[in-house]
């Protein structure tokens, strides 16, 4: 297992180890929590089935379907910044991806992404929520600074798509 980070800086290799651990966790766990900002303050969180973006698109883009008339869609319309969170059953890994969501409601465009079989799950119509990931908070035992779970390990993407460590 790679050495844990103990100092306040991370080199490119350490960042890539964290991103690899996050990719593996996100790809392995099909469900996560999506947190949106509630109208009255605070947040609402609910479990969603998450999908990677189609081949040829940004590897960190994540998609999920939601009912067009749902509270979740209303909250995304009001404030499109959301967080997706995964927890590994081992307790040794969690990943929280944050970013801006866009809603795709054009049925022709959605038909290219989603099979007609999903129509039965959303009889009142659905929207495709497409999140571009801008930040990644990762706790991975053996990679994250020790003591594990104290503090955060936050990576943020710059305008060019490169990941940078953001110290506490």
**Please, is 54 exposed, middle or buried when counting C-beta atoms within 10 Å of its C-beta (0-12, 13-18, 19+)?**
exposed
- By the 10 Å C-beta count (0-12 exposed, 13-18 middle, 19+ buried), 99 is classed as buried
Strand-pair partners of 65: 128
Partnered with residue 148 across adjacent β-strands are: none
Helix/strand/coil for 85: strand
Whose CA is closest to 61, among 102, 92, 116?
Answer: 102
Residue 5 has pLDDT above 60, yes or no: no
CB neighbourhood size of 128 (10 A): 19
Query: Whole-structure pTM over 0.85, yes or no?
Result: no
Q: Tell me the pLDDT tens digit for each residue of 134-147.
A: 888 888 887 777 76
For residue 52, the tally of other CB atoms under 10 A from its CB is 15
**Hey, CA dihedral for 68, 72, 74, 79, is it positive or negative?**
negative
Q: How confident is the model at residue 6 (pLDDT cuts 50, 70, 90)?
A: very low
CATH architecture of 12-156: Roll (2.30)
163/141 Cα distance (integer angstroms):
20
Residue-level pLDDT at 104: 84
CA distance 50 to 53: 10
Structure tokens at 123: 């009889």
Domain boundaries, the chain: 12-156
Tens of pLDDT, residue by residue over 33-73, are: 999 999 888 999 999 988 888 788 888 989 888 888 889 99
- pLDDT over 60 (residue 15): yes
Return the SS3 of 151: coil
Please answer whether residues 113 and 61 qualify as being in contact, where contact means their C-beta atoms are separated by less than 8 angstroms. Answer: no
């Amino acid at each position: 297992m790679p050495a844990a980070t103990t100092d306040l800086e991370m080199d490119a290799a350490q960042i890539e180890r964290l991103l690899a651990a996050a990719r593996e966790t996100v790809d392995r766990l099909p469900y996560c929590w999506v947190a949106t900002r509630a109208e009255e303050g605070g947040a609402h969180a609910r479990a969603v089935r998450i999908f990677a973006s189609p081949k040829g698109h940004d590897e960190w883009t994540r998609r999920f379907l939601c009912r067009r008339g749902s509270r979740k869609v209303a909250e995304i319309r009001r404030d499109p910044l959301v967080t997706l969170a995964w927890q590994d059953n081992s307790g040794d890994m969690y990943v929280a991806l944050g970013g801006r969501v866009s809603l795709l409601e054009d049925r022709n465009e959605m038909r290219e992404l989603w099979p007609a079989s999903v129509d039965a799950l959303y009889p009142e119509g659905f929207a495709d929520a497409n999140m571009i990931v801008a930040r990644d908070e990762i706790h991975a035992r053996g990679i994250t600074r020790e003591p594990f779970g104290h503090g955060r390990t936050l990576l943020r993407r710059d305008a060019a798509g490169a990941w940078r460590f953001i110290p506490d």
